[in-house]
Structure 1
Amino acid sequence: MKGSAEGSTSPADGIAAAPWLDTTRPVDTALIAEWQGHLDQLRAASTPQTSTSPTPASRSVSVVVSYRPGDDLATSLRCLADQTLPADCVEIVVVADGGIDDVEPAIQEWSATGERAPLRVVELPTGRVPVRAATLASVRHPFSAFIAAGDRVSPAYLGTLLAHADEASIVVAHRQADFPSAPTSGEAPEILAGSEPASFGEDSSPLLGTLLPTHLARRVEGDLPGPDRADALLLLSLLTRHGCRLRQLSEADGATYQRAGRARHDVPDDPDPGRVAARIRLIADLDALAATCDATTRPLVRRVQDAEYDRINAHLRHHPDDRARVVALIDRHDIDYLPSERLNAGLARALAVAYCFAPYNDSSAVVMAKRVRERGDVVDVVYNKMDGKREVDPSMRRISGPFVENEIAVETPTYFSAWPAIEAFCTRGLERIDELERVKGPYERLYSRVMWPASHFLAALYKTRRPSVVWTAEFSDPASRDVTGQVRSAPLEPSALLDELRAELKRQDLPVPQSENCLDWCEYLAYALADQLVFTNENQRDYMLGYCPVPEVAAAARAKSVISPHPTLPPAFYSMARSHYILDPSVANIAYFGTFYATRGLDDVLTALARLDSATRDLLRLHVFTSKPQALRERVEELGISGLVRINPYVRFLVFLNLTTKFDCLIVNDALTTEHHERNPYLPSKWSDYRGSGRRVWGLVEEGSPLSARPLDFASPVGDVEAAQDVLRKIAALTETRAKG
C-alpha cells in the first residue's frame, strides 16, 4: 500500500487494527493472504446496529475510488474536494488495480491542503486478489460509497446519500451519462428498480453511484461464491437474502452521479475465454440466488441474467466458432434459467421440425433434442404443443436449448397419424415459419425426424416451397410398419397440401404414390425430396428401403443415406440432476429402465434370478423403473423373488441419466422380431444413454441385431434363461471381487 495525505492507522468503529490499513507498507503476496484471512474477522466484528437509523456519530463514509491506468483520477478527486459534507466524516480510498504510476499529480494536488479528508491508495497487483474483497477489508467507516476514477459527482453527493442512509438500505444516486446516446447492446444491466436508465458500459459496476452499509457488504462478500463475485451479485444478495431495500434518489435530491464519456469496453471483440467463463459463472450464481427470491425480487435477478446472456450472444455473433466451448461452459454449471431466444438471438439459419420436442418427457423428444445438439446448428424448431398429452419437463431444454433460437409451439390436436391433425400441424406450422421468415429471410438448412409422421410432411412442404434449402430427414424406426412387420394404416383425405406435394413430385419427374396410406407417403416423400437421409442402423435402412414401391427412388435414397446411431450426451449431463436413490453397497445392483412385458426380455432375467442358488441370489438386487408396475409386481410375487426386486416409477430424463451412473450393471433388451424379420431393424435408444454412464451394460439380444453389434459388457440371447443365469453369476462375482479389493 502506498499512502498520502494524513494516512492514519488507528482503528474505527470497534474494528481491530489490521495490517492492510498501514499506509507505509507495500502490497505483497504475504499481505494479500493475510488480508483475505482477516476478512472473516472484519465481517464478524461489523455487526449490524439494532436501530435502523444511524446515530449522528456513525454518519461517516468511506469513498472507494476505483482506478485503472489512464483514468482521470484528478477530476473525481476535485469533485470530492468540493463536497459539502465535513472532511472529518469522510475517508478516500483509491483502489488501483494494476499500477499507480500516473496518479502522483492527482495525489499531490489533493495533499496541497491539510483541510481535506484523509486519502489512501491501495495498489493491487492485477489478478492477485479480488478487488472488491480488498476494498471492503480496507475501508473504516460504517458506510461505503463507490466511484470510478474520471466520473463526477455533485457537491451535495455524499451528504445527500448519508442523509438517506440506514442499516438496511442501498441508497442510489441519480445517474447520468456523458455518452451522446445510450447503445442498447452490451449495456450493463440496470438492476435498481426505479432508477433512470444510464449508459453504463461493461467496464462499469452497478455499485457505482450507490452507498451501502459496510458491515452488510462485508458479510455478503464473504458468502458469495467463486473468485469473480460480481458486483451485481452482491447488490442482489443484499436485496433478496438480507432484506435490504432500495432508496432511489431523484435529480432534485441533489446527489447526481455522472459517468465519464470514456471509450466503452463492452464491444465483444475479445475472444478472451475468461470473460465468457466469468459471465456463465455469474449466471449460475444468480440462478442459485433466484431460487431463494420471492416474486418481487426474482425479476431483478432475471434482468441481470438476461443482460449477461445478451453479452454472450454478442460474443457468439463475433466468434461463431467459439460456440462449442461456450456450450461446454454452460453445461458445466447448474443453470435452470436458459432463455435460448436471448442466447441465440439472430443466429438461427436452420429449421428443425419435430412433432414432439423438448420440454415434453417423451423418448422421441429426447432423441430429437440430442440430435439438435449433436448437429451443432442453431435452429428455430417447430413442434406440436402437447400439454395434457405429455408431461412437461423444463429440464429437457438443457439438452437442446443452447442450439435453439425460437421455439414454435403449434397448437393443433395431438394424434400420431390422423390426417386432419397432420394437415392442421403443417398448415399452422408453415404460417408460423412464414412469420419468422419475413424478419430473417429463408432458412438455409432443414432437419426433420420421424417417429411422428407429421414432421416429414411439414418438412416436405417447406422443401417444396423453398427448393434451395438443404433438407436432412431422419427415421427413428419404420413409420409404415409395426414391430411384427404388419402395415400401419392411416388413410389420407383430400387436401390442398397433398395436391401441392403431388405437383412437386411430378415436377421432378418422380412417380406419385398410389397408396392412400399417409404413413407410406411419409416415408416416400423423405426418400424422394430430402437431400440426405439418416438411419440409426444398416438393418433399418435395408428393411425400409426394401419395401419402397419405386426401386429407382429406393436406390437414390440409399445413395444419399448415412448411418448415425442415437447420440450420447456429454458427461456433464450425467450429474445435472442428482438422484438420492439409496443402494446397498454389499450387493451387485442391476437396473432396468423401461416397460415390462411378461413375454419379452426382462422376464428372462426374473426367471433366471428365481432359479439361482440362494447364496448367489443374496448377492444381487434388481431395480426396475417402469410405467407399468402392477404386472411386474404380480410376476415377481409369482416367482417368489419380491425381496430381490425393487420396483420404482419412471423418472425424468436427467434424473434417469444420473441414476445410470449408480448401478453395477444396466440392462437393455432387443425388441423381439425373429418371427417377422430376417434381421432385427431396431436399435434401442436407451443404449446411447447407457453408453455415457460409464457402467457395465448387459444386452438381451437377438442374433444379428444392431444392439448385438454394440460393445456390450455382457450379452445373452433373448429367451435363453440359462445364458441369463450365467450373466447373473458373473455380476454376482463382481461383489466378491469388490469386497476382496
Structure 2
Amino acid sequence: MATEQSPERARPWQRHAADVPVDEGIVGRWIHDLEDAQTEAAQAQDPARQEDGVSVVVTFELGDDVAPCLRSIAAQTIDHDRFEVVAVVPHGTDLAPFDTFEAERRDVRLRLIELPATGRFAPRDVGTAAARRTYTAFLAAADYLSSSYLETMLDRTTTREIVAAHLVDAATDAPVEHPLTYVAGKLVPTTFAKQVSTSDEIVFLLTLLARYRLDVARTDQQATYFRAPRVTLRQGRTQDFDLNVAAPMHTIGKLSELEGTCPRESLELLRDHIRLVAAPINAYLKEKPEDHDRVLDLIESYDLAEFPYDVVNRGLARSLAISYCFVPYNDTSAIVMAKRVRARRDLVDVVFNTMDQTREIDPSMRRISSPFVEDEIPIATPTRWSSWPRIDEFRLEGMRRIEALEAQKGPYAKLYSRVMWPASQFLAASYKLHNPSVTWVAEFSDPVSRDVTGAERGTPIEDGPFLDAVHDELKKRGLPVLDSDNLMAWCEYLAYTLADRIVFTNENQLEYMLSYCPVPELVPLVRAKTVVSPHPSLPPRFYSMSEQTYPLDPSAAHLAYFGNFYATRGLGDLLNALAGLDEPTKSRLHLHVFTGNADDLRTHVKSLGIEDNVHINPYVRFLAFLNLTTKFDCLIVNDALTADSHAKNPYLPSKWSDYKGSGRPVWGLIEDGSPLSKQPLTYSSPVGDLQAAQEILRKLAQSKMS
C-alpha cells in the first residue's frame, strides 16, 4: 500500500499508471503546483486517448460499506479488458477492501483517487476527469449492480445515447421513482460527460440531452442498478431556507437555461424535472407560510418566463378569486384582475370562464398572477355578457367545481370577485350563501347597470332557486328585496347587501353608483364597507420582460397612444392640433398609435395630411405593450366623454395604471373634475381645447430642438 512519501501519494489522482490524464478544469485546480500538471490535464480531452469500453466511476462517503459494491463489480460478466474502475475516495478512507479486490481480481484495472480533506471537489467530477474509456458509468459505493449490468449497458449504447438501467430500491426491489433524476444507473459517452459538471445530477443529465442532443435508451432488467436507501438532507429540515428554497432555485435556474436548446422530444422531460425540483419549496412554505414573500422575491429574481407556481403553492390557497375573464385571455378585464391578485398577495384558487373562441390566449400574462395562484378553475360554458341562462350555467358549474375543491381543502376564508362581466358577482354571491363565514370583497371597475351615457341597461333575470335563496337571506338580514328583474341591477345589489367589502376605483364612481341605488336607505350601509382603490401598477421588472425593438429618430419627439382610437371621443382634437401646427414644429413630432381599428384612423389621418407624422401599428401583447411604453417621450391617455350625461365623469381609464408604472411623461386629455384629471399627469389639456393641445405639442417639439 502506498505511503505518505511514495510517488503515488505525491500524485493522489493516480495509483497504478503514471500516464493517467487529469481534467485541468476540475482536478487541475488543486494540483496546479505539480510539475507537468497542465500537460497531463490537456491530454484528458483528447478522444484519441480514450480506449474502447467503459470507465466505472465509483464514489464513496466515509462509513460506506463498500463490500457489496466491490463484489458486484467483481462478478460482472463483461470481459475484463472492456472496463476499468476509477474509485474516488475521501481522505482517510480505509483502503483495505480495495487491496482485497485487487488481490482477487488482478485482471480488472483499478485506479484510486484520494480527495484532499478540504472536500473542494465533487467526487464524480474528479472521477469523470480521470476516465479513459469511451463510456462512463457511475456507481455509488453504497449501491451494487446486477452481474450482467456492464455487458448489457455497453452492448446497448451508441455515441449519441445515454443508456438508462433498471433502477430499483435495494431494500424493497421496487422501482425507484423519477429514475432520470439520478446519475446512478446511467452510461454516458465520456467525451460529453467530461464537459459537464456532475455535481448536480439533474442538471448534468438534462444538459447532455439539451446541449448535445443525446437520446435516452432504456435497458431491460438484465441491467439492474440496486440503489441503497438514503437519508436525504432535506428530511427533517424543511425549514432550512438555503437547503429547500435557494438550492432548488439554483438548480431550476440552470435547467431553465436549457429550454432554448432542448430538443422538442426532451422538453416535456425537462419541465417535469423542474416541477420535481420545485417540490421542496412547497414543503418549506407549508412549514413557514409567512415566508411566501421572501420565497417569491428569490424566485422572481431569476426572471424565468415559466415557473411551476402551482407546485410551489400546492395546498396553500385559503382564498377564492372569481373573475369571469382572467389571464391568459388577452382582455383588459383579465389583466386588471391579474394585477389585483398580485397586489392583494393572497394565495388564491381562481375561477374563470373559458374564452378560447372570443379572446386571444397570451400565456405570458400568467407571469402577473401565477405567483399567487394555486389552482386555475376554468369553466367551459358559453361566453355571454348578460344572458341569464348562460350566467346561471356558469354559476352552477362554478359552484360544483368549488365544492369539489372544498372537499379536499375545506371552506375558503376569503373571497374576491371583480365585475366587468356580471357573471362574476352571481357566482360570488352563490358562494357567500353557501359559506356565510367567508369574507367577501366585491370590486366594481365601472358602473354595471348604467352605460357610458347614463342610460339604464340590462336583461331580465329569471326566478328560480338562486333568487329564492337570495330573497331568504335578505329577509334574514332584515334587508329589502330588490323589486326588479334587471340582471344588471341585481349584480350591483347583491354586492351592496351581501359583500363584506366593496371596492370602487375612484370617488366619482362611488358617488355616481350610489346616486342611483334603487334602495336609498342602503346607501349608509354601502358607504360603511366601501374602499376606493385605483387599479394597481405592476413592478418595474414587468416593463423589461418582453424587450421590443422599435426604432425611433432621436431628433424628433415621439408620442404614443395604445388602444382603440376614436376621432369622435377626444382624440380627434389631438390629430387636428397636430395638423394645425407650422411645418418646422410638426416635423419634430411623431405620433405612434397601436390600435385595432387602423383602417378608420388611416383614412382620417390622410384626410388631415399628417400621414408622415402618424405611425399606425397593430395591437401588441400586454408585456410587449409595457416595454414599449418605456421608449416614448410622452404617452397619451384620454377620458371617456361624459359631460353631456354625467355631473362628474365616473370613469378612470385602466391604461393610466400601466402608463404610471412606465416612468415616462403622460399627457391626459381630460374632462374637468374627472378621476383622470386628479392624477399626477405630466401634461394635461381639456378635451376640445385645440389651442391647449398645440401648446403641449410645441413644448414637446421644443424639448428635442433644444
Deviation of residue 123 (structure 1)? 4.2
Secondary structure at the counterpart of residue 700 of structure 1: strand
Q: Does 1:172 align with 2:140?
A: no
**Counterpart contact for 1:92–1:120, Cα < 8 Å:** no
Q: Is the partner of 1:257 in helix, strand or coil?
A: strand
* Pick aligned residue for 1:631 from 600, 603, 606: 600
C-alpha displacement at 1:514, in angstroms? 1.2
* Alignment of structure 1 residues 371-390 onto 2, 5 Å: 371-390=340-359
Paired residue for 2:668?
699
Give the equivalent residue in structure 2 for 1:555.
524
| C-alpha distance in 2 between matches for 1:611 and 1:158 | 85
Q: With structure 1 as the length reference, what TM-score do the two structures score? A: 0.84
CA distance in 2, matches of 1:357, 1:475: 15
**What is the rounded CA distance, in whole Å, between the counterparts of 2:71 and 2:705 in structure 1?**
79
2: distance between equivalents of 1:182 and 1:601?
72
Task: Provide the secondary structure at the position in 2 that maps to 1:655.
Answer: helix
Q: Which amino acid aligns with 1:189?
A: H
* Letter of the structure 2 residue corresponding to residue 701 of structure 1: I
Q: Which of 616, 630, 641 in structure 2 is aligned with 1:661?
A: 630
Cα offset, 1:214, TM superposition: 0.8
How far apart in 2 are the matches of 1:26 and 1:282?
Answer: 24
SS in 2 for 1:118: strand
Amino acid at match of 2:559: I
2: distance between equivalents of 1:287 and 1:211?
Answer: 24
| 2:189 paired residue number | 213
How far 1:342 sits from its partner (Å)?
A: 3.3
Provide the residue aligned with 2:30 in structure 1. Answer: 27
Amino acid aligned to 2:426: F
Task: Give per-residue Cα distances to partners, 1:690-718, cap 9 Å, x unaligned.
Answer: 22222222222223322222222222222
Deviation at 1:67, TM superposition (A): 4.0
Aligned 8 A contact 1:350 1:445 in 2: yes
Q: In 2, distance between residues paired with 1:337 and 1:261?
A: 33
Amino acid at match of 1:673: T
Is 1:729 equivalent to 2:705 in the alignment? no
Cα deviation code 1:439-491 (max 9, x no counterpart): 32222211100011111111112111211111111111111112222222322
> Which residue is 1:245 aligned to?
215
TM-superposed CA distance for 1:4, in Å, is 6.9
Task: Assess, with a 3 A threshold, how the Cα gap between structure 1 residues 480 and 103 changes in structure 2: closer, same or farther.
Answer: farther
2:153 is aligned to 161
8 Å contact 1:502–1:512 — kept in the other structure?
yes
Aligned to 1:256: 224
Structure 1 residues 585, 180: closer, same or farther in 2, change over 3 A? farther
The amino acid that maps onto 2:136 is S
For the 8 Å contact 1:532–1:562, the answer to whether it is kept is: yes
**Gapped regions of structure 1 (runs ≥ 5):** 50-56, 192-204, 223-227
- Cα deviation for residue 618 of structure 1 reads 2.5
**2: CA distance between counterparts of 1:647 and 1:732?**
20
Note if 1:517 corresponds to 2:486.
yes
Q: For structure 2, which runs of at least 5 residues remain unmatched after alignment?
A: 1-9
- Give the partner amino acid of 2:228: A
Deviations 1:44-91 (A, max 9, x none): x448x9xxxxxxx83333332344555555654554455555666555
Q: Which of the residues 179, 184, 192 maps onto 1:190?
A: 179
What is the CA-CA distance between 1:501 and the residue it aligns to? Answer: 0.9
Between 681-690 and 316-325, report the one with greater CA deviation. Answer: 316-325
**Distance 1:86-1:423 versus aligned 2 partners, 3 A rule:** closer
1:166-224 per-residue CA deviation (whole Å, 9 max, x = no partner) reads 322222222221355979xxx86333xxxxxxxxxxxxx521111111112235x28xx
1:542 and 2:511 equivalent?
yes
CA contact 2:57–2:85 (8 Å) conserved in 1: yes
Shift of 1:523: 0.9
Q: CA deviation at 1:580?
A: 2.6
| 1:256-655 equivalent positions in 2, closer than 5 A | 256-267=224-235, 269-273=238-242, 275-280=244-249, 282-283=251-252, 285-287=254-256, 289-290=258-259, 296-333=265-302, 335-655=304-624
The residue aligned with 1:199 is none
Q: Does 1:62 align with 2:38?
A: no
Q: Secondary structure at the match of 2:502?
A: strand
Q: 2:238–2:244: 8 Å Cα contact kept in structure 1?
A: no
Structure 1 residues 623 and 67 mapped into 2: Cα distance closer, same or farther (>3 Å)? farther
- Deviation (angstroms), 1:399: 1.8
Question: SS in structure 1 opposite 2:320?
Answer: strand
CA distance, structure 2, for counterparts of residue 330 and residue 557 of structure 1: 40
Alpha-carbon distance between aligned partners in 2 of 1:529 and 1:692, rounded to the nearest angstrom: 34
Identity of aligned residues (%): 49
Offset, 1:124: 8.4
Q: Distance in 2 between matches of 1:566 and 1:95?
A: 60
- Is the contact between residue 87 and residue 117 of structure 1 (CA under 8 Å) also seen in structure 2? no
- Relative to structure 1, the CA distance from residue 285 to residue 117 in structure 2 (aligned partners, 3 Å threshold; closer, same or farther) is closer
Distance verdict in 2 for CA 1:103–1:520, change over 3 Å: farther
Which whole-Å CA distance do the structure 2 matches of 1:331 and 1:131 have between them?
32
Deviation at 1:613, TM superposition (A): 2.8
CA contact (8 A) 1:188 1:307 kept: no
CA RMSD in angstroms comes to 3.4
Q: Secondary structure at the match of 1:601?
A: helix
The CA deviation string for residues 305-337 of structure 1, in whole angstroms up to 9 with x for no partner, is 332243333332223223223333443446455
CA contact (8 A) 1:95 1:123 kept: no
Shift of 1:350: 1.6
Bigger CA drift: 157-166 or 400-409?
Answer: 157-166
Corresponding pairs, count: 692
Where does residue 138 of structure 2 map in the other structure?
A: 146
Q: Within 1, Cα distance between the matches of 2:24 and 2:389?
A: 79
Residue of structure 2 equivalent to 1:682:
651
Q: 2:279 & 2:606 partners in 1: Cα distance?
A: 57
Alignment TM-score, normalising by the size of structure 2 = 0.88
With over 3 angstroms needed to count, the CA separation of the structure-2 counterparts of 1:334 and 1:460, relative to structure 1, is same
Instruction: Give the Å deviation of 1:245.
Output: 3.4
CA contact (8 A) 1:346 1:405 kept: yes
Judging changes above 3 Å, is the alpha-carbon distance between structure 1 residues 180 and 571 closer, same or farther for their aligned structure 2 residues?
Answer: farther
Rate the CA distance shift 1:672–1:63 in 2: closer, same or farther, 3 A: same
AA matched with 1:256 = T
Q: Deviations over 1:120-178 (max 9, x none)?
A: 1344856x667765554443332211122322234544344334333222222222213
Letter in 2 for 1:345: R
